Amino acid sequence: MLRNRERCFRLVLKATWFGALPMSIEEKQMEQAATQPKATDIAPAKGKLGVMMPGMGAVATTMIAGVEAVRRGMAKPVGSMAEMGTIRLGKRTEDHSPLIKDFVPLAKLDDLVFTGWDIFGGNLFDAAKTASVLDRDQLEEMRPFLEGIEPMPAAFDQRYVKRLDPKKIKTGKNKCDLANQIRNDIAEFKSKTDRQVMIWTGSTEIFLKEKAVHQTLAAFEKGLVEDDEDIAPSMLYAWACLKEGVPFINGAPNLTCDIPALRELSKQAGAPIAGKDFKTGQTFMKTVLAPALKVRYLGLNGWYSTNILGNRDGEVLDDPDNFKTKEESKLGVLEYILQPDKHPDLYGDIFHKVRINYYPPRGDNKEGWDNIDIFGWMGYPMQLKVDFLCRDSILAAPLALDLCLFMDLAARTPSLKHLGIQEWLSFYFKAPDAAPGIHPEHDLFIQSMKLKNTLRHVMGEDLITHLGLEYYSE
Ligand SMILES: NC(=O)c1ccc[n+]([C@@H]2O[C@H](COP(=O)([O-])OP(=O)(O)OC[C@H]3O[C@@H](n4cnc5c(N)ncnc54)[C@H](O)[C@@H]3O)[C@@H](O)[C@H]2O)c1
């Protein structure tokens, strides 16, 4: 409270300095109090949070099984900022860094309930076995729980995911009919839960560009009735979800809700959106290393990234049209971080290549290699090599969990709910959605600062600027 009053006083001084109409301190305090979010504005996380997942493959089953393992005390939520992270409040001298989950009102893991859709029959125990991410013994312990979740038939069209043969899908007279069937599924789930979020953990679809049908909600809804081929299945889920006033997260690189029509719907419905493409392995490392080179003004000639991956995602991405969607998502990162237009001598002529090779023997255990050709003082060349032997879904699961928890928070927070894109969650994405005309932030550490400052902001706490001069004045 004292900190807020100090800040208020500083604002008044600033307004006067720049020649704004002088206001009394009381008036300014009243204005400030009216606009500064307060912790009490946020609706409490009461009751069950329903998590809906279109696409119940490796990421979805690993996340759900992991949440259940944590609930049973069999595992810790490693990799989850929402569950394990801390946040500093106030000055460093105050030594006050509570757990994030104790600072902001997040849903409890015990209150999560799961459902979803997929094109394959069977239950989540079968799906988790197929995904082969988790140990059989561990899965056996959770067998009854996982067998109790059975994906609903999907809205699917093989033209958008060519390598998969569907077994259990919805049929309807057009895309509008299919989307309305999804709305019915959501309405049914709403009757069993108190709040809901949807997270697309389905396959990567073929590359789509923004077209006329995506420009307005009216054009999009007309396109649904007319079966417009630029409306992909993931867009049907997103539209249905937002129409139901439920937040939507896009874990794949698909265009999905990154179009004006669905941004409009998101704001209108007060249902936040965030995407796209979980930032897990190679891009996670890239957004750590590239900012490091940039802050030291070391030059870059080339960055060659290649992966081997043997899971179903790898199989889907083996098709060139589907890979193109992933490639676009992975390629943007360096351009945004290094800003070649501002630093032509250092980054004006970079060769950047990204490959993903489907290699079944490795399953979900991806190996990503990076060869980075850099140069330093007087142009002398150097090299960096990264060999990341990671587990794709083990890295993705905590990100998916955090996104569900934070998007549910956004939907309960008046100052975030109607913003549409939740750019503060760009930390979790390879190709973060951002407002038109604003380039997304890719640097992992700026993204993490942005996320934590947003939490401080919505809770009415002072932001941390890392200035720190006050420690050195008397
Ligand atoms: N695993 C990672 O580290 C990671 C990282 C970044 C992004 N992703 C993305 O997350 C998504 C999921 O990855 P995964 O490894 O779980 O893949 P997966 O192939 O194991 O699971 C995806 C599931 O989606 C289903 N599906 C496809 N189209 C559907 C539709 N229209 N409706 C309902 N279900 C549908 C498939 O049948 C499949 O079971 C992919 O798009 C992937 O590119 C994954």
pLDDT in single tens digits along all 474 residues of the chain: 334 444 444 444 444 444 445 666 666 656 655 678 888 899 999 999 999 999 999 999 999 999 999 999 999 999 999 999 999 999 999 999 999 999 999 999 999 999 999 999 899 999 999 999 999 999 999 999 999 999 999 999 999 998 888 899 999 999 999 999 999 999 999 999 999 999 999 999 999 999 999 999 999 999 999 999 999 999 999 999 999 999 999 999 999 999 999 999 999 999 999 999 999 988 999 999 999 999 999 999 999 999 898 888 778 878 888 888 767 767 778 888 999 999 999 999 999 998 888 888 888 888 999 999 999 999 999 999 999 999 999 999 999 999 999 999 999 999 999 999 999 999 999 999 999 888 888 999 999 999 999 999 999 999 999 888 888 986
- State if residue 283 touches ligand 1 by the CB under 6 angstroms criterion: no
Handedness of CA 158, 162, 167, 168 (dihedral sign): negative
Domains 49-278+394-458 and 282-389 share a fold: no
Give the atom of ligand 1 at the shortest distance from the alpha carbon of 395. 3
Distance CA 162, CA 206 (A): 8
- State if residue 312 touches ligand 1 by the CB under 6 angstroms criterion: yes
- What is the amino acid identity at position 391? R
**Ramachandran bin of 104, using left for φ above 0, alpha for ψ from -120 to 50, beta for the remaining angles:** beta
Q: In this structure, which residue's CA is closest to atom 5 in ligand 1?
A: 278
Distance CA 131, CA 112 (A): 22
How many Cβ atoms from other residues are within 10 Å of residue 367's Cβ? 18
CA of 53 to the centre of ligand 1 (A): 10
Torsion of CA 387, 392, 395, 401, to 10 degrees: 160
- State if residue 133 touches ligand 1 by the CB under 6 angstroms criterion: no
Annotated domain spans of the chain: 49-278+394-458, 282-389
What's the gap between Cα 338 and its chain centre?
22
Give the atom of ligand 1 at the shortest distance from the alpha carbon of 60. 16
Q: pTM here?
A: 0.91
- State if residue 28 touches ligand 1 by the CB under 6 angstroms criterion: no
What's the gap between Cα 227 and its chain centre?
28
CA of 174 to the centre of ligand 1 (A): 24
CA of 118 to the centre of ligand 1 (A): 10
CA of 238 to the centre of ligand 1 (A): 15
- State if residue 363 touches ligand 1 by the CB under 6 angstroms criterion: no
How many Cβ atoms from other residues are within 10 Å of residue 2's Cβ? 8
- State if residue 201 touches ligand 1 by the CB under 6 angstroms criterion: yes
List the helix and strand counts (H, then E) for the chain.
19, 10
Instruction: Please compute Rg for the chain using Cα positions.
Output: 23
In angstroms, what CA-CA distances link 241 with 85, 113, 174, 256, 427? 29, 17, 18, 12, 23
In angstroms, what CA-CA distances link 102 with 232, 401, 420? 39, 17, 26
CA of 54 to the centre of ligand 1 (A): 9
CATH class of segment(s) 282-389: alpha beta
CA of 155 to the centre of ligand 1 (A): 14
Domain 49-278+394-458 belongs in CATH node 2.30.29.30: no
Per-residue buried b or exposed e for 85-105, using 16+ beta carbons within 10 Å of the residue's own CB = bebebeeeeeeeeeebbebbb
- State if residue 277 touches ligand 1 by the CB under 6 angstroms criterion: yes
